Structure 1
Amino acid sequence: MTQSLSFPLESFLSHPPTPSPPENSGFRPPTLNIFPSEPMHVEPSTKGSSVVSASPTSSGSKRSSEPSMELANQQRTDHVPSGHEQAKTVKQREGNRKGPKSISEHEGPKTPDPKTLRRLAQNREAARKSRLRKKAYVQQLESSRIKLTHLEQELHRAKSQGMFFGGGALLGDQGLSSGINNISSDAAVFDMEYARWLEDHHRLMCELRAAVQGHLPENELRLFVDNCLAHYDEMVNLKSMVLKSDVFHIVSGMWKTPAERCFLWMGGFRPSELIKIILNHIEPLTEQQILGICGLQQSTQEAEEALTQGLEALHQSLSDTIASDALSSPSNMANYMGQMASAMNKLSTLEGFVRQADNLRQQTLHRIHQILTTRQAARCYVAIAEYFHRLRALSSIWCSRPRQE
């Protein structure tokens, strides 16, 4: 019995049957996985499912292990998160870490208050003026260099042609006319700024007129009146920038229209004339207001007369200096240069007269605002703006009139 059983066992051990791989089983011999198709940090769901039995005892055990391997691979694939899910998880964690958003974040940015907007507008305006001043300064340097080169060329030409009379050289009519017709860079910048100032002034006056006609309350109307005064102060600052470099441009009034130049007084309007204009637009007046307006008109006229007399005295002194006996002997170069130096010193005081006249105009406008009520002052400023607007319109009509040959 033992002998019959051992023979098949020994033959089986010596010649084990080679199992044939099942058809379409998908089984592959284990290989070294150098490039894994799955993330290495993901652990399998069950450890037992990843173990593959390599015992070749029976084909049935292999077939039973293959479905378990496929199930494990499917579970492992299902549990691997995609890139979008990982990013979403990270964002959720960061959101939980930062905490819930506040109500202001959901509402969006708040609109700045009017005070902040006004301050930002003033900063932008100051930056723009700074850029203009820098540009004007560079242009002035370049213009001065060109003028100096031109004068040197004219001097050499005059010397070569022998155009000398005594101690002074005659540069010719062409050089003089070129110096007269060309304005300085500061004057050109002032003309551009004045044109922009007129546009802003027209807009402010339209708003002030609409506010007066709309019967706004005093506190709301005061804002428009303050803006009007600040705009007049800006004009004074613009003129002070060009006075030091080119005072004759302001005194001549070439930046104004022809009709306005007829009433020009020291580079501007007469304050006493404005008081006469507004008297018909501020009634009714209280007794205290009448006294204040009369006193302002009298003091303004006295200041105007004092400045006018001082300017006339300057003109007379300058004329006497130029028409002195030294001109009869041009060969005396020392007397000639001394005479020109004296005339230059007297002429430099013209800037002071124009500044005093601008200060008088500015003080008169502010004094009117102090004496009158806000609504009365608003009507006065509208009347002043309308007066100058009609002068400019008259100039336009005059310039466009038909001319006879």
Structure 2
Amino acid sequence: MEQYLSDKVKAIKPSGIRKFFDLASAMDDVISLGVGEPDFDTPWHIREAAIYSIESGKTFYTANQGLKELRVEICRYMKRRFQLDYQPDANVVVTVGGSEGIDIALRAIVNPGDEVILMQPNYVAYEPGVQLAGGKPVFVELKEEDQFKLTPEALRSAITPKTKAVLLNFPSNPTGGVMTYEDYEKLVPIIEAHHLIVISDEIYAELSYDTKHASLANFPSIKDQVILISGFSKAFAMTGWRLGYVIANETFTKAMNKIHQFIIMSAPTAAQYGAIEALRHGEEHVEEMRASYQNRRNFIVKGFERIGLPTHMPQGAFYIFPCIKSTGLTSEEFCERLLTEQKVAVVPGTAFGEAGEGYIRVSYAASLEQIKTALERIAVFIQQFR
């Protein structure tokens, strides 16, 4: 039956994250530090708002763009938290997770053969998204010595006459790297000069620890060139609710909504009512979760340094990206053996592109008890490579 499949689909590799998650789920006594999902329950008042919406009979389709009430709250939130001015009717589309937002953003702007610059290491969905939209991924390697930031030199070197867009993700999955306002300021002239569209995945914006989150949308001269992707999964512990949003210039949102209305119709209604409650009354919980993640980050970084696997200090998200080159194993070998020998699941850096070889991604969205036990097991594992 392979002959009937699309060539684009056949060319896409399975997710390297899911591979190790599936292996781990089939084993007993495994500590999984692999999947990027908060270990907190969604706060009760958010769940209650969604439950009440169902009990009240609010079970019908919403407007394609999402509930007006939710879009208003999203705009208020963006102004309050990140000093960004947007209008609920012109600039916002509510999506099924940030993932749909990335998909419709790419499909709205990419023509066959257009080049889209991607970072490496990068989130696993970006390259397939560009390919499915008919574009050509062009990779820029982010380096540990640059704190996994995008430098002006690296961006400039990847641009060709066919470059249409650049897709950014800061704070970053998998590295935890961030870009400050000053870092972005150096990129703005390049983006202006080459008329690049920026798709900025800012799903981890609320999980910035040591610096204030910044966005390229904060720069008025290129704001209309920025498509901002965000959502509720990470900051509000709402992964299973599948709710995100895209914010952009009206020309882009009209195009994206055109795709959205045909493939989705509208995001889940109850989830939207929950999200309204999250934005109105959930910031205290966000602060509590961020503080907890920061404590875990500090603990796990010290732990990896102590056992001899150095790691960049992540400034955002909830991942570390330790270097495992000293073991002499490939990233894939390291993760397979760690899982079978010590029952700790982490993700090989190569799941995020070739530039991830020699690294692993470890999520610290787990309890301190689990992290402590995992560190003990990893310490035993690497003793054989001393």
When normalised by structure 2's length, the TM-score is 0.21
**Bigger proportion of residues as helix:** 1
**Bigger proportion of residues as strand:** 2
- Higher relative CO (Cα under 8 Å, sequence separation at least 6) belongs to 2
When normalised by structure 1's length, the TM-score is 0.20
